[in-house]
Copies of this chain bind each other. A is one copy, B any other.
Amino acid sequence: MTSILSINATDGPARLGLIATPHCEIETPVFMPVGTLGSVKGVPQHILEELSVQILLGNTYHLYLRPGHEAIREMGGLHRFMAWERSILTDSGGFQVFSLNELRKVSERGVEFRSHVDGSTHFFTPERSMEIQIALGADIIMAFDECTEHPVSRERARESMEMTSRWARRSKEYFEAHKHEVPWSSAVNHSTSIATGHPPPSVGCEEPRAPSKTRHDASLQSHFFGMQSLFGIVQGGMYPDLRRESADRLLELDFPGYAIGGLSVGEPRELTREIIESTLPLLPKDKPRYVMGVGYPEEIVEYAAMGVDMMDCVLPTRAARHGLLFTTEGRMNIKNARFARDQQPPDPQCGCMVCSRYTRAYLRHLFVSGEALAAVLNTIHNLAHYLDTMRSVRHAIKTGELRAKRSEAAQVSEQSS
């Protein structure tokens, strides 16, 4: 099987690559903004395009509850539903259900949980997660996993990891039997595409496009090349030997990409780094490696330098809604009174649409006045910062300057205002 990842340059363990997905080719290392319910909170899709977002993450658990995967399937899949032509990855629902704490019951068969929306009872199994993720139709989907809390005993971590391995097999089996049910599958056909004269997916997705016509032009579906890719997730808590065993079991199933899950669950940052560092060498070099749920700007630089290709995190978007901006000079709490008459841009080194137009004083005013525009502009800036950070990491890999980039990011992390 040919890998969906092609590597174009390396700098130490770091890799500059392209991941082929049905909707576009993604330049890696890549940061994926989180669009939980089919929307990056407060930001219209054309602005995400202008920010050069290549791939969004959607949350299976949330989309299953609202508007429901069958509704999305009927409407042509998540891309079409949310009018987003670039790539999407959906998580398995495992982590979200894990976060419900008191509302869930785990067994070998799957997880029973109660909806945070209306308290209704639901049951996720590996098969159900696949069914939902196929209906949503993301480019990359994730095997159903259990994510353990931290700290956790070795015994509990082992049992959970072993069950996650069995769930990975069940996920893979269901996916292989049903992958043709993806809402856009009928159009996945090279000859059709060529016949209709549509261009192949854009490389890198970097060009801002004309306003999407997805909804109005059904033939656009014939853009798609290839099928969904199902990734496996390495678990094993904070135990390197369990991580190794998890990786070994997953590799037997030959996934097109592998994620490291079960991190960012409250463990110290140094431990996160150690687990990533010890797990990465266990994963095939020629396939995408995805660390789920990380991190701060300096962390995503560090992990990319260690050889991670994909990362996602709610941090830039959630922090924005709480008035925390990430800048080239460190973190900035925009509600701070000392910004009340500060006429500088949020980040004088940033060229985003927020920093090239608005002042710190204006953003502070919006935030302290409870104006909706505060979250919108803060989110746009934070995403620009994260995406610029990854763009400069990719540039540094190409030019062999990643070591310098990494120490610069680490220095910035110690500043805040």
Contacts and interface: CB of A to CB of B under 8 A. Distances in A.
Contacts of A74: 341
A211 interface: yes
A239 interface: no
| Number of copies of chain A assembled together | 2
Contact of A46 (B37, B81, B353, B371): B353
A382 B375 CA distance: 21
B75 A373 contact: no
Given A343-B75, A343-B215, A41 B371 contact: yes
Given A39-B366, A46-B353, A211-B357, A341 B83 contact: no
Contact of A81 (B362, B372, B380): B362
Given A71-B341, A373-B39, A376-B376, A365 B66 contact: yes
A413 interface: no
Given A361-B67, A362-B81, A372 B375 contact: yes
A191 interface: no
A80 to B, nearest CB: 9
Contacts of A37: 365-366, 369, 371
A345 B42 contact: no
Contacts of A366: 37-39
A341 B357 CA distance: 38
Interface string A345-358: 10000000100111
Interface string A240-283: 00000000000000000000000000000000000000000000
Contacts of A214: 357
Interface string A167-178: 000000000000
A372 B71 contact: no
A116 to B, nearest CB: 12
Interface in A182-200: none
B66 A369 contact: yes
B341 A372 contact: no
Interface in A29-49: 37-46
Main secondary structure of the interface of A (DSSP, over half): loop
A43 B377 CA distance: 9
A81 B38 contact: no
A83 B357 contact: yes
Given A67-B361, A211-B357, 20 more contacts: A37-B365, A39-B372, A41-B371, A41-B373, A42-B372, A42-B376, A44-B353, A44-B380, A46-B353, A66-B365, A66-B369, A67-B340, A74-B341, A75-B343, A83-B358, A83-B362, A211-B353, A214-B357, A215-B343, A372-B376
A-B pairs with the 5 shortest C-beta distances? Answer: A42-B372, A39-B373, A67-B365, A83-B357, A41-B372
18 contacts: A38-B362, A39-B366, A44-B373, A44-B377, A66-B368, A67-B369, A71-B340, A74-B341, A75-B361, A81-B361, A82-B362, A83-B362, A211-B353, A213-B356, A215-B343, A215-B359, A372-B375, A372-B376
